[in-house]
């Protein structure tokens, strides 16, 4: 299995055919229906059927172009952004990217909107919605869970590695975080291939919490093997955009930050 470094994955611009094939129509009919699109049909209301058809055409065309370029990556979703002619593209096992409407260019990174008091990340909510679905599909039995004290007010998901110093620092705060009514769910995310055996041994231990705590202290972990979700959880992290640990997300899939003091976690969850 290949692991990413902390460098951004390079995505090359792909030259594609037009995403929409033309239909043979009379000129008058074209003018008459010029304003009818997937999102503005004759009724003036959005048409779910037309939107689904448009999305499927986009996904199929983009998938075909990736295959032509010998890039074996599955397109799992495409959504419009608020930026004209720019689409958000979700890929299986890779961070999301953006594509121009004509399909000629793809690019990776953040699109930021100016004009307000704070910068607005155009793709953040789109990515968060995808993350939320991934988190909801997780089996809690595959995680290390630290329940909230008293009534659970919030749940956070933390991609973590037992070898990560800032993960150690966050781990020391777990009791204080739980005392704030916050449940913490650890997802395994070894930062490199060399850390995979330890994380797998922790996840295969009879007592994962004790094994993780021992690893944080620097104690040797007895090697253990079993059917475990560590590799799948690592790939999940790549898919949601994790590039370092710890990486903290709320239950709605929104990225809260890396290492954060307890007070900052509480404030961000309250927003």
What amino acid positions are annotated as catalytic residues? Answer: 161, 164, 167, 191
- Give dist(CA 143, CA 188) in Å, integer: 8
- Give dist(CA 164, CA 170) in Å, integer: 10
Residues whose CB falls within 8 Å of the CB of residue 39, separated by 6 or more in sequence, listed in order: 46, 47, 50, 51
Residues whose CB falls within 8 Å of the CB of residue 194, separated by 6 or more in sequence, listed in order: none
Q: Which two tokens stand for residue 11?
A: 């995505």
Residues whose CB falls within 8 Å of the CB of residue 209, separated by 6 or more in sequence, listed in order: 144, 146
Distance of CA 222 to the CA centre of its chain: 32
Write the DSSP symbol of residue 241: T
Residues whose CB falls within 8 Å of the CB of residue 60, separated by 6 or more in sequence, listed in order: none
b/e per residue 111-125 (b: at least 16 CB within 10 A):
beeeeeeeeeebbeb
């Amino acid at each position: 299995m290949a692991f990413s470094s902390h460098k951004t994955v390079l995505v090359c611009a792909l030259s594609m055919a037009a995403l929409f094939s033309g239909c043979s129509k009379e000129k008058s009919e074209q003018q008459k229906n010029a304003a009818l699109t997937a999102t503005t049909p004759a009724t003036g209301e959005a048409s779910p059927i037309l939107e689904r058809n448009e999305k499927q055409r986009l996904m199929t065309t983009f998938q075909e172009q990736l295959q032509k370029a010998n890039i074996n990556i599955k397109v799992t979703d495409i959504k419009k952004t608020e930026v004209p002619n720019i689409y958000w593209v979700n890929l299986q096992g890779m961070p999301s990217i953006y594509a121009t409407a004509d399909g000629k260019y793809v690019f990776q990174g953040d699109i930021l909107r100016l004009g307000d008091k704070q910068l607005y990340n155009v793709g953040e909510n789109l990515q968060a919605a995808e993350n939320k679905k991934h988190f909801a599909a997780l089996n809690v039995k595959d995680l290390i869970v630290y329940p909230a004290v008293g009534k659970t007010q919030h749940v956070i998901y933390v991609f973590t590695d037992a070898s990560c110093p800032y993960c150690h620092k966050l781990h020391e705060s777990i009791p204080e975080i739980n005392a704030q009514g916050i449940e913490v769910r650890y997802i395994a995310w070894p930062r490199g291939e060399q850390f995979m055996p330890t994380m797998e041994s922790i996840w295969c231990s009879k007592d994962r919490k004790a094994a993780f705590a021992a690893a944080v202290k620097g104690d040797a972990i007895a090697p253990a093997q079993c059917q475990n979700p560590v590799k799948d959880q690592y790939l999940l992290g790549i898919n949601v955009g994790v590039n370092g640990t710890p990486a903290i997300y709320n239950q709605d899939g929104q990225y809260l930050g890396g290492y954060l003091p307890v007070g900052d976690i509480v404030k961000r969850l309250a927003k």
